[in-house]
Amino acid sequence: MTVPVGDAVGDPVGGPRAATEDADIVQELTAGHREVQRLFDLIRASEPGGDVRRRAVERVGAALARHADVERRFLHPAVRTYVPDGERWAAAGLAAHAETARVMAALAGRDPAGEEATELVLTLTTVVTRHVLDQEQRLFPRVWAACPPEVLRDLGLRVRRARGAPAPRLSPTVPDSPRELARAARRVGVLDRVRSALTRRRRTG
């Protein structure tokens, strides 16, 4: 199956303007990427230390936290279930989120008008863009090819519903083994709930 995905700067198929109420999880997450990229454009165009940049950095932090949360809750369990070598792909995603969180934490402690803050914004843009490209060019085609369409649509609906929730905090740490990843998922009930939904089985306890 050939999957049309957007590049790092243009509008994707199923992006924020094209997404509909039946958009699947890949389209929803790609739309989220575009939201973050527009905020990065605003940051780059704004004056260091100014109110516009400060508010844009706050907004991008909230957007990244929310995006990482829905990936952990909905994308990663589906990747583990359906995509070949899915555990590795999910672990890579969690590592990217942790790296993003570390940069955001460092940025929060810097003078917004200082040179260090400017350098950290550049680092954040680089880290996030690398993650976006890896997902859109390598992971999302695999997800689209491996997951049943009804699962993709159901997860897209879950992502849309989750957008109304307050943005969680990005965690700068990530489990470093498959066993620890599974434990972390079970602690928040993610793995069991999503697997149950994907297989259409009633939870037994």
pLDDT tens digit at each of 205 positions of the chain: 333 333 333 333 333 343 567 899 999 999 999 999 999 999 999 988 889 998 999 999 999 999 999 999 999 999 999 999 999 999 999 999 999 999 999 998 888 888 899 999 999 999 999 999 999 999 999 999 999 999 999 999 999 999 876 666 555 554 444 444 444 434 333 333 433 444 444 344 4
Please state the pTM of the whole predicted model.
Answer: 0.71
CA distance 84 to 21: 29
Q: What DSSP letter does each residue of 60-108 carry, written as one string?
A: HHHHHHHHHHHIIIIIHHHHHHHSTTHHHHHHHHHHHHHHHHHHHHHHH
Q: What is the largest CA-CA distance in the chain?
A: 56
136 vs 34, 36, 47, 101, 173, CA distance in Å? Answer: 12, 14, 31, 21, 24
What pLDDT was estimated at residue 56? Answer: 92
Position 75 scores a pLDDT of 97
Report pLDDT for 19. Answer: 53
Closest CA relative to residue 12, chosen from 146, 133, 107, 155 = 133
* DSSP 3-state of 11: coil
The neighbour count for residue 151, using CB atoms within 10 Å, is 21
**Contact criterion met (CB below 8 Å) for 59 and 39:** yes
**Residue-level pLDDT at 196:** 41
**pLDDT for the residue numbered 49:** 84
Calpha distance 97→69 (Å, rounded): 9
Contact in structure between 69 and 162 (CB atoms under 8 Å): yes
Q: Measured between alpha carbons, how far is 95 from 161 in angstroms, rounded to an integer? A: 25
pLDDT attached to residue 172: 53
